Structure 1
């Protein structure tokens, strides 16, 4: 065996080569997909990998159909000088699921760290295993959450969309429930660029603030949330149907550069929550 596998806390698996010379392409595609199905998140560190963005997208296509955007196959996550949206700023990104505003919801995200932000600059990607959350949630709380539906709207360069999703829903392929939630910016932070619209239905208005506070406390609990602190060359696979993800804020001007590809499932999932998109 040429790899070492280490359990991450509170979920996920870190895979590293024993001799430091293995190429990422040496890992069997089917085996990695089976592990991802069980673990929901895989981080690969220390492998030889990609010399270009094209190399990265070619590799990802071995795992499935890439979800195409107006900009192409790869999103270059790098801070802009004058960002028009928070994904290109150095601020945190709230927890969310990918594809919530698009016609098809990707099954998997693949991230490649071209350049790490630096050990003291933060900028980790946050992941919450919502299956794990629900397994530990008291039935009384789940009954409350079952009543709640959230409406989200967001306009940016690549779409202008609205989606309405129950907080709890069934995984599209497996026999367990998951949380679909995009948290509002913390304390309605005015420095947060391009606030999404957010409404809660199913509970009295006077209970909404308390609901958001309690849910965020649970999601951000160390027993539910894993933060991947990037090292240059890292590759991370994440299960978009089960996890929520976001980003820590990072030091302005830090050299953080992450590439992201979204993979559709074998049967692409048409977004069941999308109301409209332009």
Structure 2
């Protein structure tokens, strides 16, 4: 593993992908870092972790900082989603259970390029709650050719009817990144026996019903392969920028009532990427 530096702060590659920037002096404001260089790192490495820096005093400050990365994706609740367990959750994002791999903005007019996460309060080391990220370009590059040919034949149709997240989209499982290389767009089915609130309706076509079990089995094995998946254990103050064009992400279950509080902002690309998968 090699290290370098950015403005005197230490850059270290992560495994199996991503890059971490550690503050040379704990408490250095995140806003002091050059966003243009951070954006380059996020695009090159697909995941950027800023650790040891001073975070944000409230959602407004996070939104103001994120706007330096590009145009914000706005929701009925505003720019900042508060990801914290609710007493009586109406959707899985406010629950403590497992969340399968998916991509963000699948039901929106425009697809976010970046997710900016800020950890307000991290769960305990034994409480779970890691966020999982899978680098789908690498999955395809290293896939068994027969498996990849199967995946390339399949199209997914996804429907949700939940406040703020309702919609329908249809996307080939293997599609194209705006820069021209292949990536995977897939909303993973919930494993048998897992409880899940408001899972979308899923339909996969393009191959016969008899081949769908093989499709899901081989694709999920590749997506969860340690060569392609990184699971982030949160620390309070962490800022993570994820490439939503390339990665899929999910969440491991965490101990209910543990202090897990993340904030998330969507940043659109330049120009914004229109969601051609959306059924209007």
Report TM bin, short chain.
Answer: over 0.9
Q: CA deviation at 1:188?
A: 6.2
Instruction: Give 1:254's match in structure 2, choosing from 234, 251, 258.
Output: 258
| SS, match of residue 72 in structure 2 | coil
1:219 corresponds to: 223
Q: CA–CA distance in 2 between the matches of 1:275 and 1:53?
A: 31
On the 8 A contact 1:110/1:237 being kept in 2, the answer is: yes
The answer to whether structure 1 residue 37 and structure 2 residue 54 are counterparts is no
Give ranges in structure 1 of 5+ residues lacking alignment. none
On the 8 A contact 1:116/1:231 being kept in 2, the answer is: yes
How many residue pairs get aligned? The number is 274
How big is the alpha-carbon RMSD for the aligned residues of Structure 1 and Structure 2? 1.1
The answer to whether structure 1 residue 241 and structure 2 residue 245 are counterparts is yes
On the 8 A contact 2:176/2:183 being kept in 1, the answer is: yes
Post-superposition CA distance 1:10-51 (Å, at most 9, x none)? 000011012224221121111111111110100011001211
Q: CA–CA distance in 1 between the matches of 2:42 and 2:149?
A: 30
The answer to whether structure 1 residue 232 and structure 2 residue 253 are counterparts is no
On the 8 A contact 2:147/2:218 being kept in 1, the answer is: no
The answer to whether structure 1 residue 263 and structure 2 residue 232 are counterparts is no
| SS, match of residue 212 in structure 1 | helix
1:28 corresponds to: 34
Instruction: Give 2:210's match in structure 1, choosing from 206, 213, 216.
Output: 206
On the 8 A contact 2:11/2:22 being kept in 1, the answer is: yes
On the 8 A contact 1:2/1:19 being kept in 2, the answer is: no
Q: CA–CA distance in 2 between the matches of 1:84 and 1:76?
A: 14
| SS, match of residue 43 in structure 2 | helix
Q: CA–CA distance in 2 between the matches of 1:42 and 1:184?
A: 27
Q: Pairwise mapping of residues 10-159 of structure 1 onto structure 2 (< 5 A)?
A: 10-159=16-165
Q: CA–CA distance in 2 between the matches of 1:272 and 1:10?
A: 30
Q: CA–CA distance in 2 between the matches of 1:209 and 1:195?
A: 19
Structure 1 consecutive aligned stretches of length 4 or more whose deviation exceeds 3 Å: none
Give ranges in structure 2 of 5+ residues lacking alignment. 1-6
Q: CA deviation at 1:6?
A: 1.1
Q: Which moved more, 1:134-143 or 1:47-56?
A: 134-143
Post-superposition CA distance 1:159-192 (Å, at most 9, x none)? 32111100111102x1310000010111163x21
Q: CA–CA distance in 2 between the matches of 1:52 and 1:164?
A: 36
Q: CA–CA distance in 2 between the matches of 1:159 and 1:19?
A: 40
Q: CA–CA distance in 2 between the matches of 1:160 and 1:21?
A: 40
| SS, match of residue 83 in structure 1 | coil
The answer to whether structure 1 residue 184 and structure 2 residue 189 are counterparts is yes
Q: CA–CA distance in 1 between the matches of 2:268 and 2:228?
A: 25
Q: Which moved more, 1:249-258 or 1:20-29?
A: 20-29
| SS, match of residue 79 in structure 2 | coil
